[in-house]
Chain A
Amino acid sequence: MITITLRYFASLREQIGRSQETLTLADTLTVLEVWQHVHQSPLPDNTLIAVNMEYVAKSHSVCDGDEVAFFPPVTGG
């Protein structure tokens, strides 16, 4: 079993209605599979994904204790 924390930011957080949740999985999944496991709707095309605060590809596999963040394109500066 692995336990991960999911985090959502900005417009994605508002659409989902929560900023954070904990997920326990029987086996490792890719970050895209994690999204599909939790959400009914497909991952929005432009979504950025970070694991432990580093950008990753959709094919990145999660590990126990990971913090997985999904967020829209960044608009700082």
Chain B
Amino acid sequence: MIKIVETVFDPFFEIQDFQTQLALNGKFGATSIFIGTMRDFNEGDEVQAMTLEHYEGMTQKQLEKIMAIAKEKWAILDALIVHRIGDILPSEPIMLISIWSAHRADAFDACRYMMEELKSSAPFWKRETLISNQTRWVLKNTGGKN
């Protein structure tokens, strides 16, 4: 399932809520979770807020493609992506990826793959508001090894 949400969400509630709807009790032995949270600093500056813009329609399409490829490459039972758009404050979650599989390797590897693909191909853009009230677009994502 893919959810693009405009208001603050609780990633732990989303995981629990999705998991209770899965008809997979007894089938999954591993759940891998990545949660991205907004920091109050970036590139050496204090950040007070952020706005996330996206390309409606293409975002969903790209995320569906990423999820479909992950399901082909790994033995995933199900997957959940939740991503914020709109105005975000420090400490609020930006995104969640959760993967359910029988064994941990599939869950870990698929989660990492989906995260890196989302970072490089899903059409979202961050604009930061610094503590000085200056605004700036984030120019690029950091590499996954950072």
Contacts and interface: CB of A to CB of B under 8 A. Distances in A.
Name the prevailing secondary structure of the B interface residues.
Answer: mixed
A75 interface: yes
Given A10-B137, A71-B55, A77 B125 contact: no
Interface residues of B, number: 28
B9 to A, nearest CB: 15
A69 B58 CA distance: 10
Contacts of A7: 55
Interface in B57-100: 57-58, 61-62, 83, 94-95
B6 interface: no
Output the residue of A7, A50, A53, A77 with the most chain B CB within 10 A. A77
Contact of B125 (A50, A53, A55, A74): A74
Contacts of A17: none
Interface string B125-146: 1110000000001111100000
B52 interface: yes
Given A10-B125, A71-B125, A77 B141 contact: yes
Nearest to A54: B61
A73 interface: yes
Interface of B: 36, 52-55, 57-58, 61-62, 83, 94-95, 115, 118-127, 137-141
